[in-house]
């Protein structure tokens, strides 16, 4: 049975995928005769409405682990990881990317000379409500890939010949899980915030173009 290593990890909000994993484990347990149909109905209802890892853990605490089915995501150990106070990222003619289950620090210092820095927050481990980013973008791009529940404020940025692109403000009624405050300067580069761009349509090869073959269909997002 995989469980969060600290009470702080158990207090973190569960995702739809986390609930689905617990539902699968409960159904397997019912098929093995470990819980009755009445217990299954009750636990399924509680699993589908659970908000935290602690609530999900309580539903399977008396069940053995099932191979291939984890109570929480395999990277749950990273959920309880202590975030760094400060993380520095510098790009000089290269591309730097943070994605997957990376632990969001309390503060980021980012310098982009030439190149690109991409921070993907869609699966990031968020352990605090505020992230401060100080950046200097000279010739390159800083891109923040966000999801609902993440709000980015960039009111303290000096822009010369570059650009800062922010999404529309979120609905006031939506909960905010992470607020990102960006400060610094943009010279001839750009800062872009929002969901990932849609996949590009495949291009024809030279021989397809020569034979006037139709372009390949677009890849679904």
Q: From start to end of 75-174, where are the E strands? A: 87-98, 107-120, 130-145, 150-159, 163-165
Query: How big is the chain by its Cα radius of gyration, in Å?
Result: 22
Taking CA 159 as the corner, what is the angle to CA 198 and CA 154, rounded to the nearest 5 degrees? 65
Does residue 144 lie within any of the structural domains? yes
pLDDT at 120: 94
Residues 62 and 141 in one domain: no
pLDDT at 25: 84
Give percent of the chain above pLDDT 90.
32
Residues 50 and 100 in one domain: no
Among residues 69, 64, 72, 77, which one has the least CA distance to residue 5? 77
Above 50 in pLDDT, residue 79? no
Residues 71 and 89 in one domain: no
| Higher per-residue pLDDT: 92 or 32 | 92
Number of compact structural domains in the chain: 2
**DSSP class of residue 13?**
B
Does residue 2 lie within any of the structural domains? no
Residues 15 and 122: their CA atoms lie apart, in Å, by: 12
Among residues 66, 62, 53, 43, which one has the least CA distance to residue 3? 53
Residues 54 and 139 in one domain: no
Q: How many CB atoms lie within 10 A of CB 14?
A: 21
| Higher per-residue pLDDT: 66 or 91 | 91
103-117 pLDDT, tens digit per residue, is: 899 999 999 998 999
**DSSP class of residue 172?**
T
Domain of 174? 82-194
Residues 48 and 65 in one domain: yes
Most confident of 16-25, 30-39, 83-92, 134-143: 134-143
Question: Alpha helix (H) ranges present in the chain?
Answer: 7-10, 16-31, 37-48, 53-60, 76-79, 206-210
Residue that is last in its domain, among 57, 78, 99: 78
**pTM, 2 dp:** 0.57
pLDDT at 155: 84
User: Do the Cβ atoms of 191 and 220 come closer than 8 Å?
Assistant: no
Residues 25 and 99 in one domain: no
* Across 15-40, average pLDDT: 83
* Across 156-173, average pLDDT: 87
- Write out the two tokens for 198: 């849609």
Q: Which of 31-35, 81-85, 193-197 has the lowest mean pLDDT?
A: 81-85
pLDDT at 74: 42
């Amino acid at each position: 049975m995989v469980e969060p290593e600290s009470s702080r990890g158990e207090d973190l909000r569960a995702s739809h995928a986390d609930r689905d994993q617990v539902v699968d484990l409960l159904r397997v347990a019912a098929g093995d005769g470990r819980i009755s149909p009445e217990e299954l109905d009750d636990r399924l209802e509680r699993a589908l409405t659970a908000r935290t890892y602690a609530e999900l853990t309580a539903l399977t605490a008396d069940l053995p682990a099932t191979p291939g089915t984890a109570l929480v995501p395999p990277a749950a150990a990273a959920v309880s990881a202590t975030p760094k106070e400060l993380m520095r990222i510098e790009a000089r003619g290269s591309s730097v990317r943070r994605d997957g289950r990376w632990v969001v620090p309390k503060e980021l210092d980012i310098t982009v000379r030439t190149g690109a820095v991409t921070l993907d927050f869609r699966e990031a481990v968020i352990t605090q409500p505020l992230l401060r980013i100080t950046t200097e973008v000279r010739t390159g791009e800083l891109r923040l890939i966000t999801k609902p529940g993440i709000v980015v404020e960039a009111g303290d940025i000096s822009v010369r010949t570059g650009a800062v692109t922010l999404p529309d403000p979120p609905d006031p009624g939506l909960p905010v899980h992470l607020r990102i405050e960006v400060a610094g300067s943009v010279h001839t580069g750009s800062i872009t915030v929002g969901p990932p761009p849609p996949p590009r349509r495949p291009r024809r090869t030279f021989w397809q173009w020569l034979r006037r073959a139709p372009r390949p269909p677009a890849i679904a997002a």
